Structure 1
Amino acid sequence: MSVDRDERQRHLPAGRKAQLAAYVADAGQVTVGELAERFGVSIDTVRRDLDQLSADGVLVRTYGGAVSLSTISRTDRAVDQRLTLQEEEKGKIAALAAPLVQDGSTIMINGGTTTLALARELRQHRDLTVATNNLLVPGALPPTAIRDIYFFGGAVRSLTLATVGPVSFRANTGADLDISCDLALIGVGAIDAETGYTTSNLAEAAMMQEMIARATRVAILADSSKFGRRLFAQVSELASADYLITDTAPPAGLRDALAAAGVQLITPGPKG
């Protein structure tokens, strides 16, 4: 295809959408603004194109943009694969997160391998009440640390070995009990200065949102491979967390956004 013909097709819906789909597939993830500038059309036009391509199953629509199907398949790995990734980094994060947990407190822990590492790190703690949707957490918690363990019911995602459903328990009368916790420890799939904390599954995002809403304090646990990325479902904005615990300092732009949102950054080293 010649350059002139390429330029003309940018302004033809079918040709533009084909090129847009190819660009997303190549880039992996894009924003609406980036596509509008590249293809010389309005943001509303790009949004309509992305909505149609998403409906056609060509890509996955996200908050403020889109991601390719291949990106989703790479990021949503099974738990047995993720257990072997960034093991050292997860260990560092767990060691930094454990001191935030106070003896006698109530904590919520979501699904994920980073939060699983945190559960194993609670050996020195006592009298904890733990509520989780992570099938692997009860077996990982040191028995000497635990007063009570509660498990959130719902459908089980075999990919992550975690349940997805309401963050609630019912009394014998059938009414929902009001629950809360001192600290929610939340592992996320990606962190971006604009879109905040995201994950690849809508149901998991909804459950994480509920945990955050019921917590007095919130700690996000994420290794540095999650920086500057955005996934399908937004969990929350940056400011919803009190702490971000990670293995190394984020890039300057994200670091500034976290500071502006009032999020305390906890990293290894004397300045962590």
Structure 2
Amino acid sequence: MAAYVAETGQVTVSALAERFGVSIDTVRRDLDQLSADGVLVRTYGGAVSRSTLARTDRAVDQRLSIQEQEKEQIAELAAALVEDGSTIMINGGTTTLALARGLSQHRELTVATNNLLVPAALPSSAIRDIYVFGGAVRALTLATIGPVSFRANGGAELDISCDLALIGVGAVSADAGYTTSNLAEAAMMQEMISRAARVAILADSSKFGRRLFAQVSELSAADYLVTDTMPPPDIRDALTEAGVEIITPAAASRRNAS
């Protein structure tokens, strides 16, 4: 089974059960053991090989080096929105990965994510529970694409929600709102937003004034836009009209000074 996962890169429990002619419970136990032995990375509903993780991790590190300072600033500001003991959802992307790495001062967090790099990036001292949403894995970002849901042992879908959704997007514009390049990712991000009491959109200034293929939501779906500098006047005015608080390093400094 380990060799097959290594060869395939990413697998589901059901596919392994069918291939090897064993029960789903047997596959789950074997994957749990292989994960504990460090052979593969266990995901909700399947597993990813270590080699796939390493290749994508290098690609992510390259993307992290783009707008690196801005992403770190955004991560620090977004972390300040997270309350100890709360439940948060984090989507895929390098800005949200920077956020996950920056939660070391927090405690007793429950985190649900589709970003397979987030669990390893989260400081262990900050975490109570971690959940990874299942689905197909998008190789470019190593994030799952599927429903924002979990099922009980009996198969019934569990009702889940969170205190804060932290969503990195590909573009922000006054007319199109928040957009991203992948349709399936947009649908998953929409569902995360719908399950959150509060929503923080994370986007550096290079994302302003652009529109990508798939709309995630209108501007008004967010409570906060966390960014590195104040948006251009048209976006700023549209955000203000939509009731979105713009959080920047400069705004945070003024707030702390007062």
TM-score normalised by structure 2 residue count = 0.74
Matches for 1:1-272 after TM superposition, within 5 Å: 79-269=60-250, 270-271=253-254
Aligned equivalents of 2:227, 2:145: Cα separation in 1: 25
Q: Secondary structure at the match of 1:170?
A: coil
RMSD: 0.9
* Greater C-alpha radius of gyration: 1
Deviation, structure 1 residue 99: 1.1
Deviation, structure 1 residue 82: 1.4
Matched to 2:140, the amino acid is L
Deviation, structure 1 residue 153: 0.3
Q: Secondary structure at the match of 1:167?
A: coil
Structure 2: state its 5+ residue gaps: 1-58
Q: Secondary structure at the match of 1:265?
A: strand
Q: Could you report, residue by residue, the CA deviation over 1:155-208 in whole angstroms, capped at 9, with x for unpaired residues? A: 000011100000000001101000000000000000000000000000000000
Aligned equivalents of 1:79, 1:193: Cα separation in 2: 29
Aligned equivalents of 2:106, 2:60: Cα separation in 1: 26
Aligned equivalents of 1:144, 1:94: Cα separation in 2: 18
Structure 1: state its 5+ residue gaps: 1-77
Deviation, structure 1 residue 126: 0.3
Q: Secondary structure at the match of 1:111?
A: coil
Query: Which residue pairs with 1:20 in the alignment?
Result: none
TM-score normalised by structure 1 residue count = 0.71
Provide runs of 4+ in structure 1 moved above 6 Å: none
Deviation, structure 1 residue 117: 0.4
Deviation, structure 1 residue 83: 1.8
